[in-house]
Amino acid sequence: MTYLGIVSIIAGIMFGIGALAAVYRIIRGPSILDRALATDVLLAIAICALGAEMAINSHTDTLVVMLILSMFAVVGSISIARFMAKQDAS
């Protein structure tokens, strides 16, 4: 097994644990702000995993996907936070 093959397995397990934890917080999160935050974390982990896959397989096909995600990741959380009502405790 090559060096980068072992690295890819360990990194995949770590990315998986992070993503599952974010999904758990999206499901359980006591407020909608926790869910918006966990969605942001899930997106950041997805961007990092895309980049790690590119570095391991040494191609640059999904670099544009990373660019677009980093440009438009902001829209969801800001719209949730902006229209958050004071009495909404759910």
Partner 1 sequence: MSAAEVAVGVLILVSAFLSMAAGIGIIRFPDVLTRLHAATKPQVLGLAVVLLAIVLQAPSWGVLTTIVLVMTFQLLTQPMTAHMLGRAAYRSDHVRYDLLIEDDLGHDIEEHDQEADAGSR
Number of residues that bind partner 1 (CB under 8 A): 56
Q: How far apart are CA 76 and CA 57, in angstroms?
A: 31
Q: How far apart are CA 6 and CA 21, in angstroms?
A: 23
Whose structure tokens read 């990092």? 48
What six digits make up the tokens of 60? 């640059």
Q: State the minimum distance, in angstroms, from the CB of residue 50 to partner 1.
A: 9
On the CB side of 80, CA atoms within 13 Å amount to 14
Q: State the minimum distance, in angstroms, from the CB of residue 36 to partner 1.
A: 6
Q: Which residues bind partner 1 (CB under 8 A)?
A: 3-4, 7-8, 10-12, 14-15, 17-22, 24-25, 31, 33-34, 36-38, 40-41, 44-45, 47-49, 51-52, 54-56, 58-60, 63-64, 66-67, 70-71, 73-74, 77-78, 80-82, 84-86, 88-89
